[in-house]
């Protein structure tokens, strides 16, 4: 979906979703186990997250009668309680085409009752947020969407509009409605104030409940193991990445414990066991590093933006937990445009949850899916015969 480039009226701005969060850096070294301090202060920006859904019944009638439609004012943010509103212009002429545009508006601040803070141009009268707009089908599955958590922060002042003027072509509205009802979903990530948290480790051995002790112990273990990721001082295995000619370091015992594939490499008379070296030819170093982060700590910061690549390396090295994490992320991003692509991904890499959700969406919106470039590519590629078999089986099962 192309983003709008028209000149908006005052206060209305079109969104550029280009991510500014995609730089890759090796993790900074954390403190060693014997360097644990008695007190730790953590300062961070606490982010609020909330969402709401807007269902427009008789959308064709509304579109013909009203040049602009606004939702009721909603209070969003469990802490801030700001006032928000969605606006849709069903027919906006841009060049030679007519689009439906959708924008999010900050109507008022949660503390607007304080008259001394009601000046629009005051530095205190602006907030920063990211948001996502999606069209949902009758089952609540996204058909199309724009924006996500990875987009750049947007600055909202009172009555500021952010959104997309070319959300979809007006003539294609029937493709996104169910019984002439259009359902819009909006999720907002709101940047909060800096908050400080003090952790007292001086009495860490004090008796605590078993669940809390296990949770704290797992977090501490992951933190300590994270210091060993790509650590040249203690590593005993070299990983050579052919695609970008880089080298990473790892620990034989940790790889063996976490991956059955690595365990077989090091427990037999294979070259990897003899030379303490692993060569990876089909993944770039960023993806391999993301896999190592997950192996050592159970999480990786690459997951939100590289899940499609991580699920493939998880399949290759039999990392079931990483694969499930990737499936959950990818299912959240399912839409008509990527349903077939994710269906193929789930089928090729044995991801049952992702495949099932992609199948459901493909069947429920087959008229739109078959028009996508991904579907045409799959139909012309004999390597995807198994995917079509899955589709036919799924259709036959639904009819019974």
Task: Please tell me which residue, 43 or 25, carries the higher pLDDT value.
Answer: 43
| Co-location of 109 and 143 in the same domain | yes
Q: How many CB atoms lie within 10 A of CB 77?
A: 18
C-alpha distances in angstroms, 103 versus 11, 52, 131, 203, 231? Answer: 11, 14, 10, 51, 47
Please tell me the total count of domains within the chain. Answer: 3
| 74 and 188, same domain (yes or no) | yes
The whole-number pLDDT of residue 389 equals: 54
Does some domain include residue 49?
A: yes
How many angstroms separate the most distant Cα atoms in the chain? 77
Which one of 165, 196, 227 terminates a domain? 196
- Cα–Cα distance for residue pair 114/108, rounded to 1 Å: 12
Residue 4 inside a domain? The answer is no
Provide the token pair at 379: 């139909």
Same domain, 224 and 174: no
Instruction: Say which range, 16-20, 93-97, 208-212, 354-358, has the weakest mean pLDDT.
Output: 16-20
Please provide the average confidence, as pLDDT, over all residues in the chain.
81
Q: Is residue 300 part of a domain?
A: yes
**End position of a domain, from candidates 196, 221, 251:** 196
Residue 203 confidence (pLDDT):
55
CA dihedral 191, 196, 197, 198 (to 10 degrees): 170
- Cα separation of 159 and 11, whole Å? 7
Q: Any residues with CB less than 8 A from the CB of 199 and at least 6 apart, and which? A: 39, 40, 41, 42
Return the CATH number at 292.
3.30.710.10
- The tens digit of pLDDT for each residue in 122-174 reads 545 788 899 999 999 888 888 888 888 788 888 888 888 999 999 999 999 99
Q: How far apart (Å, rounded) are the C-alpha atoms in residues 243 and 289?
A: 13
Residue 229 DSSP SS3: coil
- For residues 47 and 164, membership in a common domain is answered with yes
Residue 31 has pLDDT above 60, yes or no: no
Same domain, 89 and 117: yes
Return d(Cα 296, Cα 285) in angstroms, integer. 16
Whether 27 shows a pLDDT value over 90: the answer reads no
pLDDT tops 60 at residue 243: yes
Q: Is residue 388 part of a domain?
A: yes
CA triple 329-331-335, angle to 5 deg: 120
Mean pLDDT of the 273-299 span? 93
Specify if 6 maps to a domain: no
Say whether both 297 and 344 belong to one domain.
Answer: no
Which DSSP helix (H) or strand (E) runs through 313?
A: helix 303-316
Give how far Cα 350 sits from Cα of 213, 293, 309, 328, Å.
35, 22, 14, 14
Do 176 and 50 lie in a common domain?
yes
Reported confidence tier of residue 212, pLDDT bands at 50, 70, 90: low
Angle at 325 between CA 322 and CA 331, to 5 degrees: 140
Tell me, yes or no, whether 1 lies in a domain: no
Cα angle for residues 196, 201, 207 (degrees, 5° grid):
120
Asked which of 291, 324, 357 is the last residue of a domain, the reply is: 324
Higher pLDDT, 67 or 113: 67
Contact 152, 18 (CB under 8 A): yes
Both 110 and 19 in one domain: the answer is: yes
Same domain (yes/no): 44, 80 = yes
> 26 is in which domain, residue-wise?
12-196
Task: Give the Cα separation of 266 and 259 in Å (integer).
Answer: 11
**E-strand stretches of the chain:** 12-14, 39-56, 69-70, 74-76, 82-94, 97-108, 126-136, 142-146, 154-157, 161-169, 182-200, 237-241, 246-250, 277-280
Burial string for 106-121 (b: 16+ CB within 10 Å, else e) reads bbbbeeeeeeeeeeee
Residue 32, pLDDT score: 45
Q: Are 374 and 339 part of one and the same domain?
A: yes
Residues 217, 264, single domain; the answer is: yes
Q: What is the pLDDT of residues 353-394, one digit of tens each?
A: 998 998 888 888 888 888 888 777 776 765 655 565 566 555
Rank 1-15, 69-83, 281-295 by mean pLDDT and report only the highest: 281-295
- The two structure tokens encoding residue 56: 């427009």
């Amino acid at each position: 979906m192309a983003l709008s480039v028209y000149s908006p009226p005052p206060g209305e701005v079109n969104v550029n979703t280009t991510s500014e969060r995609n730089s890759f850096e090796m993790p900074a070294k954390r403190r060693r186990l014997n360097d644990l301090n008695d007190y730790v202060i953590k300062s961070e920006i606490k982010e609020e997250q909330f969402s709401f859904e807007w269902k427009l019944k008789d959308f064709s009638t509304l579109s013909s009668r009203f040049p602009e439609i606004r939702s009721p004012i909603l209070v969003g943010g469990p802490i801030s309680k700001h006032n928000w509103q969605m606006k849709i212009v069903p027919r906006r002429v841009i060049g030679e085409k007519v689009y439906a545009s959708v924008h999010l508006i900050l109507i008022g601040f949660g503390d607007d009752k304080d008259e001394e803070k009601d000046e629009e141009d005051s530095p205190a009268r602006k907030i920063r947020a990211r948001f996502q707009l999606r069209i949902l089908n009758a089952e609540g599955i996204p058909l199309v969407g724009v924006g996500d958590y990875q987009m750049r922060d947007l600055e909202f002042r009172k009555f500021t509009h952010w959104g997309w003027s070319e959300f979809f072509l007006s003539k294609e509205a029937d493709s996104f409605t169910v019984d002439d009802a259009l359902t819009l979903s909006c999720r907002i990530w709101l940047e909060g104030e800096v908050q400080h948290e003090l952790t007292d480790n001086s009495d860490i051995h004090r008796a605590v409940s078993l669940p809390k002790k296990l949770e704290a112990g797992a977090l501490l273990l992951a933190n300590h193991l994270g210091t060993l990721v790509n650590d040249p001082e203690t590593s005993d295995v070299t990983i050579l990445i052919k695609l970008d000619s880089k080298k990473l370091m790892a620990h034989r015992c940790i790889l063996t414990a976490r991956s059955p594939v690595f365990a077989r490499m090091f427990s037999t008379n294979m070259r990897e066991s003899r030379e303490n070296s692993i060569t990876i030819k089909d993944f770039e170093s960023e993806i391999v590093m993301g896999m190592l982060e997950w192996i050592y700590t159970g999480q990786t910061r690459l997951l939100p933006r590289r899940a499609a690549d991580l699920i493939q390396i998880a399949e290759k090295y039999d990392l079931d937990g990483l694969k499930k994490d990737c499936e959950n992320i990818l299912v959240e991003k399912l839409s008509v445009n990527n349903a077939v692509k994710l269906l193929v991904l789930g089928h090729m890499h044995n991801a049952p949850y992702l495949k099932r959700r992609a199948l459901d969406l493909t069947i429920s919106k087959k008229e739109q899916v078959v028009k996508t470039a991904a579907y045409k590519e799959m139909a012309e590629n004999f390597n995807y015969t198994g995917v079509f078999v899955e589709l036919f089986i799924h259709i036959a099962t639904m009819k019974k």
